[in-house]
Chain A
Amino acid sequence: MALFNPLLLGIAKTHLLARKKQSAIAALGVTFGIGVFIIMVSFMTGLNGLLDGLILNRTPHVRIYNEVKQSERQPIEDLATYKDKAHIIHSIKPKNSQLKLRNGLAIRAELRKDKRVKGITPQVSTRIFYQAGAVQLNGNLAGMDVLEEARLFNFQQYIVGGKPEDLASNENAIVLGAGVAKNLSLQVGDYVQIVSINGSRERLKIVGLFQSGLADIDKVFSYCNIGTAQRLSGEGGDYFTDLHLKLHDIEAAAGMAEELRNSWGVNAIDIKTANAQFETGTSIRNMITYAVSFALLIVAGFGIYNILNMLIYEKMPDIAILKATGFSSGDVQRIFLYQAMMIGFVGAAIGLAFGFLASYGISQAPFETEALPTIKTFPVNFDPKFYIIGIIFALITTFLAGFMPSRKAGKIDPVDILRGQ
């Protein structure tokens, strides 16, 4: 007994074609379920990919920095006299230490040799004031290797009205936060007066605006070359406050951060720890997508179940004569199961096409947002995986919906019907 018996398939097909309207409505349920699944999953994962990309592509996998905090070991602990005593110390203050990353150059040299590391960039972060006439605005200036930042962390995606190269080639240039520029009524090409916390001043040319999409950040942060920042801080060429690492394998980030903390005694945080909320968001969005699609398919499944039940009730005499003339219970069962599966297959195929067209339409719709200056249309993920999942989903649902009614059809006793007429 072949799984797909052409004779039984032919009978199933004839039954369906004899009731085109009913079959079409049943298939439409599946079409709708699968179509919505494809649209939702393509759009959701597209959006997820975009948001994850924002984080994954722009954030260092491991950030090494210096944190101002109190010493973990207080001097009293080293005194032999009070060794076994309880220590109660009031009002502990943070230790006064440099912001400079200790052993920064050595760490950088070591990590450059590490095969797991794709790239490493130093940053100099310093507090500044933006001066405009009598007004001083608080700010934060980060000096960095612009071209490396662009290569590793897509810095160029944040810049509107300028190119990273413009900054790289000019030691007296700045990429000003969009919010700062707005507040100070400055444009690209203008000059801005920067005052560092130790009083030194610089006049820097604005070569671009920085727009992250977070207003609070854009109102405070600006970027310049690392040399400019070192000059403003009054420090030498070996001064930097952060090291940003990009790894070949993001999964290695947590282990790497741990390793750095242990071997160098520095603060190191990995991307997963720093952005835990994004993973949660992604998995919850995926869950909602699958739950909604599954619910729709169950509704479609009930539709098929209903229609098949009615069909079988109506077809009792036909089933009886098929059995009388030598079709077995299994044959009859398969005739009706095939019908359910055909409805499922055709419905799903149309649903996939419909889902593809609709998500293509969405991918062409304009989508402009402050946060993503380089994105112009909605992000849609056309991964063929979802289409395969969709059709398997549909076939399983329709199989289950068709199974009970068709088993009932197989069990019909022909004698009851043939005698009754």
Chain B
Amino acid sequence: MMKPVLEARNIRKKFFDPVEVEILRGLDLSVMPGEFVSIMGKSGCGKSTLLYVLSTMDTQYEGELYLAGQALQGEKPNELARIRNQHIGFVFQFHYLLPEFSVLKNVMLPALKLGLKSAEEIEHDAMEKLRLLDVQEQALKRATQISGGQKQRVAIARALINNPDIIMGDEPTGNLDSRNAQRVFDIFREITAEQKQSLLIVTHDQDFAAKTDRIIEMADGSIVSS
């Protein structure tokens, strides 16, 4: 029996400002290795909030969270940063590339931070990832000099650089036209199929979600179906 790569038990979260609102009401969720999962729901149902709790960036919650078997609740911020660095890749609606750096350097930075490989190896890996996403020609350009679709693909390459166990996305195709969105979807598909990495994507896009392995549907801070 395969163990889930990400597992959450009874996740609860409240917002206190301006009035107390329970935004996550005891969620259970797990993602298996190589699984491509999408989270859907109306605006304000708590799906993004859930994603940020699962991402370890938001630590204000109750419940249990495990990544590759390791308990994450109550860990120190520096340790969580290290775990994010090594085990989680992120893709957002906006690309968040650092404008002063080259495309290649942007992809390399998380690996340089991890510091397990030499700079040459990391550069080689980064070129590999860029090739996988078909943006290798842009490697030496500044991040501001490439098109929107290319930027998003570079952002995905950056998410992949440390070969994370799971890639989390917050509307990764939200800013893209349908052609580029399809391309990003194909890349995600390829990653899960070939690398056995898991994907957890929050999306509004019905078509996109329909093609994933599993849809988790949320409403009012609870999971309606999964």
> How many residues on A have C-beta within 8 angstroms of the other chain's C-beta atoms?
26
A415 B57 Cβ-Cβ under 8 A: yes
Which B residues, 69 to 100, have Cβ-Cβ distances below 8 Å to chain A?
A: 77-78, 81-82, 84-86, 90, 92-94, 96, 98-100
The docked-state distance in angstroms from the alpha carbon of A419 to that of B57 is 11
* Contact residues in A for B86 (Cβ distance below 8 Å): 326
B128 within 8 A of A: no
Contacts of A320 in B (CB 8 A): 96
Bound Cα distance from A421 to B155, whole angstroms:
15
Q: A14-B100, A318-B98, A419-B48 are in contact. Are A414 and B110 (CB under 8 A)?
A: no
Any chain A CB within 8 A of the CB of B112?
Answer: yes
| Contact assessment for A323 and B96 in the assembled complex, using a CB-CB cutoff below 8 Å | no
CB neighbours of A328 from chain B (8 A): 77-78, 81-82
B166 to chain A, nearest CB (A): 14
Asked whether any CB of chain B lies closer than 8 Å to the CB of A135, the reply is no
B15 / chain A contacts, CB cutoff of 8 Å:
none
A263 to B96, CA, bound (A): 88
Docked-complex contact B81 and A317, CB < 8 angstroms = no
When the two chains form their complex, are residues A329 and B96 in contact, meaning their CB atoms are under 8 A apart?
A: no
Kindly supply a per-residue 1/0 record for chain A positions 6-33, scoring 1 wherever the CB is within 8 Å of any chain B CB and 0 otherwise: 0100010011011000000000000000
Contact pattern, A 291-327, Cβ under 8 Å of B = 1, otherwise 0: 0000000000000000000000000011011111111
Residues on B with C-beta less than 8 A from A94 are none
* Total CB contacts across the A-B interface at under 8 A: 73
Q: Is the pair B52, A415 in contact by a Cβ cutoff of 8 Å?
A: yes
Residue pair A415, B58 in contact (C-beta under 8 Å):
yes
Query: Cβ of A330 < 8 Å from any Cβ of B?
Result: yes
- Tell me the complex Cα distance, A413–B58, Å: 9
- C-alpha spacing A419/B55, complex, angstroms: 13
Which residues of A sit under 8 angstroms from B52, Cβ to Cβ? 415, 418-419
Using CB atoms, name the residue of chain B closest to A10: B112
Q: Once the chains bind, are B82 and A326 in contact (CB under 8 Å)?
A: yes
Report if B165 contacts A (CB, 8 A).
no
Q: Kindly name the residue among A11, A320, A329, A415 whose own CB sees the greatest number of chain B CB atoms within 10 A.
A: A415
| Interface membership of B116, Cβ < 8 A | no
A421-B94 contact given A325-B113, A326-B85, CB 8 Å threshold: yes
The list of the 5 closest CB pairs from A to B, nearest first, reads: A326-B85, A321-B96, A18-B100, A328-B81, A325-B110
A interface residues with partner B (beta carbon < 8 Å): 7, 11, 14-15, 17-18, 317-318, 320-331, 413-415, 418-419, 421
